[in-house]
Amino acid sequence: MSTTMMGGSPGGVMVADGQGGMALDRSGGDLQARGPEARGGHPFAAHWARICARLQLEVGEVEYRTWLRQMTLGAVDQDEITLYLPTRFLRDWVRSQYGDRLGALWNAEVAEIRRVELALAPDHSANARPEPPEDGMTASEPRPAMAASLPGPSSAFTPVVEKNSDLAAPLDPRFSFDGFVVGKPNEFAYACARRVAERPSSPGFNPLFLYGGVGLGKTHLMHAVGLELTRPDRSGGAVSVAYMSAEKFMYRFIAAIRSQQTMEFKEQLRSVDVLMIDDLQFLIGKDNTQEEFFHTFNALVDAGKQIVVSADKSPSDLSGLEDRLRTRLGCGMVADIHATTFELRISILEAKAQASGVAVPPKVLEFLAHKITTNVRELEGALNRLIAHANLFGRPVTLEATQEVLHDILKAHDRRVTIEEIQRKVSEHWNIRLTDMSSARRARAVARPRQVAMYLSKQLTSRSLPEIGRKFGNRDHTTVMHAVSRVQELMTTDSAFAEDVELLRRMLES
């Protein structure tokens, strides 16, 4: 059971109630102890808070939230401390992946502690937090840590259909409509989701099929629909909603076959008012599960129940799904979530930064929105890490700090910068035409940005001065040399200018 860090024999019997733990939680961006220890009960609460904060920085926000956040503090017995996890799966995972690190961190905090025991919380059912399923396949996806304006887990957590609690995954209260930032790329999908939440089972919207790339908000919107439908103040909360990933659907189905309980499984599924299956593409090639889903689907739709499905492609592009299922999936409303735009990324960052209560300068938000363009999850992860760092060290968020703290993330997003890219970014920044980069115009409003672009080309690419000159309307290499020294000079005398150049450089830098 124990994670041995530096030898020694197993410790004695653990005596702990399993709820006396604390964990690092953040609401409104503050680092807080959770549980009774928040009031100072556990003698090691302060140490634990520091260790959690360290871990959070080391492993990153998403990983921390996914695996470590639910750890709670148990008893100390001589040189051994017990940490609790709510499920067997989490306990085993944390033990294998983080056991040694936890040991080392504890030992560094409290020299007497030489062993860390990872145990299953004795009575985690009394714990109000949603519990990921044992198979660990479909626990709610990594959650956004920041949404201070949204109701906390205790007030809004809705156990999805009590009677089906082992069938479906819990809905994450932070994935609400309120927490979803709407922009051009997702407004249609958002409107459809809203519509289904307001009036489920309308013919034109059943099934609702949401599709789009990774991390663009499909799961968020599905949870939002479920949360809205099960709001206690709405129809007495009587609507039963089952949300699960296609993967979990399959595992449950297989488990039902093994234990000869397929009838029960079918009945359970057919008894819900709304069935939501996330990431349907997972069923490609899983013919028996597809078949089962197809029948469930038909039974529910025929009974006037709502289906919501998500996938990474449109029904027609999901080759590998049975034709009849594909056809039926396309019969209701099919809504596409497009890749994010710069504007949407900025809006999302602004909303999340504001909710965190940490002041993040617009330049930093712009920088992030330029750098991390692939998906919202990564964008959010980066911002959360910045905020955690700011909270921890009480330092203001600056561009420099951002580069430092997000070094690894930014590196992954880096690519080789080209002169064309530099010209484009610089023109956009000063609102001049791209063609003016190579035009003969000498007006200051055009010449200055052109000089900056030359300077950045020299700094950020390996091109020679004559090569750079050629890309700027066949100018001479001495013109480029002059531009470089002129920009350097200006940067020392004009701090606003220097900041602009610096921002551009950071945006472009590889």
The nearest distance, CB 170 to ligand ADP, in angstroms, is 15
- 324 Ramachandran zone, left/alpha/beta (phi>0; psi -120 to 50): alpha
- Of 3, 205, 198, whose CA–CA distance to 107 is shortest? 3
Site for ligand ADP contains 348 (CB under 6 A): yes
Q: Is 215 annotated as a binding residue?
A: yes
The partner in contact with residue 220, picked from ligand ADP, Mg ion, none with C-beta cut-offs of 5 to 8 angstroms by kind, is ligand ADP
Q: Total binding residues for Mg ion by CB under 5 A?
A: 2
Contact of 211 with 167, CB cutoff 8 Å? no
Site for ligand ADP contains 218 (CB under 6 A): yes
Per CB under 5 A, which region of 32-40, 186-194, 215-223, 357-365 contacts Mg ion? Answer: 215-223
DSSP 8-state symbol, 28:
T
Burial class (CB in 10 A: 0-12, 13-18, 19+), 430: middle
Per CB under 6 A, which region of 34-42, 237-245, 360-368, 373-381 contacts ligand ADP? Answer: 373-381
Q: Is 87 annotated as a binding residue?
A: no
Site for ligand ADP contains 220 (CB under 6 A): yes
The nearest distance, CB 240 to ligand ADP, in angstroms, is 22
Site for ligand ADP contains 186 (CB under 6 A): yes
Site for ligand ADP contains 376 (CB under 6 A): yes
Among 219, 245, 457, 461, binds ligand ADP (CB under 6 A): 219
Q: What angle do CA 421, 424, 430 make, to 5 degrees?
A: 140
Residue 214 or 359: the one with the smaller Cβ distance to ligand ADP is: 214
Residue 217 or 469: the one with the smaller Cβ distance to Mg ion is: 217
Which residue's beta carbon is nearest to the bound ligand ADP? 217
The nearest distance, CB 105 to ligand ADP, in angstroms, is 27
Per CB under 6 A, which region of 214-222, 255-263, 394-402, 490-498 contacts ligand ADP? Answer: 214-222
- Of 316, 309, 314, whose CA–CA distance to 208 is shortest? 309
Q: Is 458 annotated as a binding residue?
A: no
Site for Mg ion contains 219 (CB under 5 A): yes
Per CB under 6 A, which region of 13-21, 112-120, 173-181, 459-467 contacts ligand ADP? Answer: 173-181
Site for ligand ADP contains 141 (CB under 6 A): yes
Token pair 């480029």 in the structure block, residue: 480
The nearest distance, CB 392 to Mg ion, in angstroms, is 29
480 Cβ partners below 8 Å, 6+ apart? 454, 457, 458, 465, 466, 468, 469, 472
The nearest distance, CB 311 to Mg ion, in angstroms, is 10
Contact of 315 with 190, CB cutoff 8 Å? no
Write the CA distances from 360 to 93, 350, 448, 508, integer angstroms. 35, 8, 29, 21
Among 217, 226, 449, 469, binds ligand ADP (CB under 6 A): 217
CB count within 10 Å of CB 43 equals 11
The nearest distance, CB 141 to Mg ion, in angstroms, is 6
Question: Measured in whole angstroms, how far is the alpha carbon of residue 52 from the centre of its chain?
Answer: 19
Among 175, 253, 293, 367, binds ligand ADP (CB under 6 A): 175
The nearest distance, CB 222 to ligand ADP, in angstroms, is 8
Task: Determine the Cα–Cα distance for residues 471 and 21; give it in Å rounded to an integer.
Answer: 63
Q: Is the peptide bond before 133 cis (omega within 30 degrees of 0)?
A: no
Contact of 163 with 373, CB cutoff 8 Å? no
Written as six digits, the tokens of 438 are: 């190579």
Residue 186 or 356: the one with the smaller Cβ distance to ligand ADP is: 186
The partner in contact with residue 367, picked from Mg ion, ligand ADP, none with C-beta cut-offs of 5 to 8 angstroms by kind, is none
Per CB under 6 A, which region of 80-88, 207-215, 398-406, 485-493 contacts ligand ADP? Answer: 207-215
Residue 29 or 212: the one with the smaller Cβ distance to ligand ADP is: 212
Task: Determine the Cα–Cα distance for residues 164 and 230; give it in Å rounded to an integer.
Answer: 14
Q: Is 374 annotated as a binding residue?
A: no
Burial class (CB in 10 A: 0-12, 13-18, 19+), 79: middle
- The dihedrals phi and psi of 502, each to the nearest 5 degrees, come to -60, -45
The partner in contact with residue 380, picked from ligand ADP, Mg ion, none with C-beta cut-offs of 5 to 8 angstroms by kind, is ligand ADP
Residue 372 or 507: the one with the smaller Cβ distance to ligand ADP is: 372
Task: Determine the Cα–Cα distance for residues 340 and 52; give it in Å rounded to an integer.
Answer: 33
- Of 356, 409, 384, 412, whose CA–CA distance to 62 is shortest? 384
Written as six digits, the tokens of 302 are: 């025929």
Task: Determine the Cα–Cα distance for residues 134 and 473; give it in Å rounded to an integer.
Answer: 64
Q: Which residue ranges are tagged as binding site for ATP?
A: 215, 217-219
Known binding-site positions: 215, 217-219
The footprint of Mg ion (CB under 5 A) covers: 218-219
Interacting residues toward ligand ADP by CB under 6 A: 141, 144, 175, 179-181, 186, 212, 214-220, 348, 376-377, 380
